[in-house]
Amino acid sequence: MTTTAWSPIDAPVSNAQPSRSASVEKLRRLEKLPEGLDGWADKAQGWFKRRPSEAAFLWADAQRCAELCAQYAELDAEALQHAKVMAQENLRRDPMLAKGQLIEALALVGQVAFREMGMQPYPVQFMGALSLHHGWLAEMATGEGKTLTVALAAVLAGWSDRPCHVITANDYLAERDAQTMRRLFDACGVSLASVYADVAAEKRPALYNSDVVYVTPKELLADYLRDQLAAGAGQDADWQAFQRWMGRGEVRAESSLLLVRGLHTAIVDEADSVLIDEAVTPLILSARRPSRGLSEAVVMLAQLAPKLVADEDYDCITRTRSVRLREGAMAALERLAPELPPVWRPAPRREELLRQALQVHCFFRVGHQYLVDDGEIVLLDEFTGRMTPGRTLTAGLHQAVEAKEGLEITDPNEALSQMSFQAFFRGFTRLSGSSGTVWEAVDELWQVYRLRVVRVPTHRPRQTRYLPAHVMLTVDAKWQAVAQEVIEAQKHQRAVLVGVRSVESSEVLASLLLAQNIEVAVLNAVHHAEEAAIVAVAGEPGRITIATNMAGRGTDIRLHPVVEQSGGLHVVIAEVNESARIDRQLAGRCGRQGDPGSVSLYLCLEDSLVLRYLPSWARRALVLLRARWPQHAPVWTQRAFVWAQRRSEGDAFERRFSVLRNDDWMASALPFAQRGGV
């Protein structure tokens, strides 16, 4: 069971290897999860390791680091260079230095950061860097300088001459953070590179050969799996097919195919996004394989789906987003069967295709789960709001979405190799990370990854004001109220950030404001190319930014002096997310580094969270309660949202553990699991 922490809903309510040889890296063998009494003892051990006294010792070391860093300001360039060389030699011999040597090495890196970039690390940043070096997970509030904190720890890892990968939540952050910190790494003699989707395959081996590599989990795992396939290229027919599909012609020599230098140390930025939200998503290397008659069958069933009646011909199970066929649907399918391609006429196969067609009809909406880009379906990441090019749904379901949108039906993918992110990151020798919102998942992080969580204090007291939440009955009423609140904040020269869950919602609200001649900037998957430009001016007086969850992570909105004097950034959470952590991420965009700011929350009884996780009788009861006893309705509505959110988080928790148990079974039952768990 996960530990809960503050959520915006709780606000008041009112109306590895050191060598660089070309060998295929093996992940550390996965450890089986403890069960029964061993499981309870393991949880107790995790609680003991994150007790407050541990953080107190770490804080004392961090303060000593800050003092030493100030003393190193007296060193001339030659003396500082000599000290860096000695620290690098010590770390190369022993990556886990004795406390005194570690503090001295980290203080040196802090002094270099100040001289080269003008960035003086605070004690809280030293505390975070120490946590990362020890293999812990640091919860640092948004705006406390996690980018510099991660870089400090990465320099120490680079000095050890073991491969270090800094894992970022998306390509934008991988490229941005590497460029931001490049001067620090160069001054410390640590080679640095960033790998993202647009980097060509032939350039990747040289980039991965760097001491520290900023990369997304998707790119790193995909390249790791390609190397695993390359190891057996000589006798693996699937690998040969994969090479031809990639357009590489004949298979090259093994050494030229290897991409990743090795896997030893991973520092995961936005760790809850990577290790929790993305954990159940397997990364699959696949090749297109034609399926006879699939295109015709999918189109025919996509045309049948809208003709069937929900609750009469089939049942839509909202919580699991699945469909159950009734007699009406079965009869309609029986009548259609003679017209289907022969291979899809058997009952089990045609019923599965119909279930997928109905699932798409009921639960898949453009602007929510996917976009149509250049004649192709591009899926949207539910947690980040970003497009995920190259990601596809399971065979049949993806084709059903294409049929719904009237696109050309593509061939399904056949998996050549796959691995879950859980299994991948559990296999690193040293794993650590940071995020502003991990406390809700401390038990899971310990059980799955053996990561203890340390809460790092803020450098300055936070001044964020959490306003009473607004309870709305309908979506239309909510958007009108949000628009009015945004206009009022703009009149007071405030900068406003409105958080929504989907592209469609962002466009609806933008249209309402534009109709009143209010200029807005929209940050969503459609306008992702303008992200940097939009964020750069989001803190200007009167600036209104409507954003999906893209703005929830890694977004540093710097305030204009006029905005600071007017009350700071005003964040409006217009749609509650299915995880409290994502709401906290959005709320954390304001009040950074002691800046003023405020957060407003809207609870609507037609929001998708309520429709999916609250039974219909509970929704009707809340409407009745608001009509007859309006003074009690806000409190009970708030409790209902909290309950729905916890049900959602519980379902996600069970899905992750289901994948984890499957990984453990694979590792113990299949002999080739020793090749890295593939």
| Residue predicted with more confidence, 4 or 605 | 605
Q: Are residues 276 and 424 in the same domain?
A: yes
Q: Evaluate whether residue 313 is within a structural domain.
A: yes
- Which strand ranges, in their side-by-side order, compose the sheet holding 212-215? 192-195, 212-215, 164-167, 265-269, 430-435, 137-139, 453-455
Q: Are residues 206 and 325 in the same domain?
A: no
166's enclosing H/E stretch is strand 164-167
Strands (E), 389-530: 413-420, 430-435, 453-455, 463-466, 469-472, 495-499, 521-523
How large is the angle between the packed helices 237-245 and 217-231, nearest 10 degrees?
130
Coil, helix or strand for 414?
A: strand
Backbone angles phi, psi at 469, to 5 degrees: -75, 155
* Residue 405 burial (CB count, 10 A): 15
In this prediction, residue 282 has a pLDDT band, given cuts at 50, 70 and 90, of confident
CA distance 183 to 242: 39
Q: Evaluate whether residue 382 is within a structural domain.
A: yes
Q: Evaluate whether residue 498 is within a structural domain.
A: yes
| Residue predicted with more confidence, 22 or 159 | 159
Nearest to 552 by CA among 575, 601, 514, 585: 585
Q: For the chain, how long is the longest CA-to-CA vector?
A: 87
Q: Evaluate whether residue 361 is within a structural domain.
A: yes
pLDDT digits (tens, 9 = 90+) for 362-412: 999 888 889 888 888 988 877 767 778 778 887 688 999 999 999 999 888
- What per-residue confidence (pLDDT) applies to 561? 93
Q: Are residues 367 and 239 in the same domain?
A: no
Q: Which stretches within 417-499 are classed as H helix? A: 421-426, 442-449, 475-491
Q: Evaluate whether residue 627 is within a structural domain.
A: no
Q: Evaluate whether residue 618 is within a structural domain.
A: no
604, 630, 646 - which closes a domain: 604
Q: Evaluate whether residue 9 is within a structural domain.
A: no
- What per-residue confidence (pLDDT) applies to 34? 66
User: What is the residue-averaged pLDDT of the chain?
Assistant: 84
Nearest to 431 by CA among 667, 268, 562, 202: 268
SS3 content of the chain, % helix, strand, coil (to 5): 55, 15, 35
- What value, to the nearest 5°, has the Cα angle with vertex 636 and ends 633 and 640? 130
Q: Are residues 177 and 199 in the same domain?
A: yes
Q: Which stretches within 72-170 are classed as H helix? A: 77-93, 99-117, 123-133, 146-159
| Residue predicted with more confidence, 343 or 290 | 343
| Pair 560, 495: CB distance under 8 Å | yes
Q: Are residues 200 and 145 in the same domain?
A: yes
* Residue 508 burial (CB count, 10 A): 16
CA distance 97 to 569: 43
- What per-residue confidence (pLDDT) applies to 21? 38
Token pair listed for 64: 């000593």
Q: Are residues 377 and 432 in the same domain?
A: no
pLDDT at residue 339 is higher than 80: yes
Nearest to 497 by CA among 579, 592, 578, 635: 592
Q: Are residues 305 and 441 in the same domain?
A: no
CA–centroid distance for 42 within its chain: 27
- What per-residue confidence (pLDDT) applies to 287? 77
- What per-residue confidence (pLDDT) applies to 393? 84
Coil, helix or strand for 567?
A: coil
Nearest to 641 by CA among 662, 672, 610: 610
The CATH number given to whatever domain includes residue 117 is: 3.40.50.300
561, 582, 604 - which closes a domain: 604
Q: What value does the mean pLDDT take over residues 240-258?
A: 47
pLDDT at residue 538 is higher than 80: yes
State how beta strands 282-288 and 413-420 pair.
antiparallel
Backbone angles phi, psi at 14, to 5 degrees: -140, 175
* Structural domains counted in the chain: 3
Q: Are residues 194 and 298 in the same domain?
A: no
Q: Are residues 142 and 267 in the same domain?
A: yes
Between the two ends of the chain, the Cα-to-Cα distance in Å is 29
Residue with tokens 């107190």: 56
Enclosing domain of residue 576: 463-604
- C-alpha distances in angstroms, 478 versus 302, 418, 636? 33, 43, 18
* Residue 534 burial (CB count, 10 A): 20
State how beta strands 314-317 and 521-523 pair.
unpaired
557, 584, 604 - which closes a domain: 604
- What per-residue confidence (pLDDT) applies to 31? 61
Q: Are residues 303 and 263 in the same domain?
A: no
pLDDT at residue 619 is higher than 80: yes
CA distance 509 to 478: 10
Q: Evaluate whether residue 95 is within a structural domain.
A: yes
The CATH number given to whatever domain includes residue 301 is: 3.90.1440.10
CA distance 590 to 594: 9
Nearest to 377 by CA among 397, 361, 363, 392: 392
% of the chain beyond a pLDDT of 90: 44
Q: Are residues 188 and 127 in the same domain?
A: yes
Q: Which stretches within 364-409 are classed as H helix? A: 397-404
- Least confident range from 214-228, 285-299, 331-345, 533-547: namely 285-299
Nearest to 333 by CA among 356, 362, 360: 356
| Pair 466, 8: CB distance under 8 Å | yes
Residue with tokens 């300055």: 460
- Give one word for 403, left, alpha or beta, with left for phi > 0 and alpha for psi -120 to 50: alpha
Q: Are residues 244 and 176 in the same domain?
A: yes
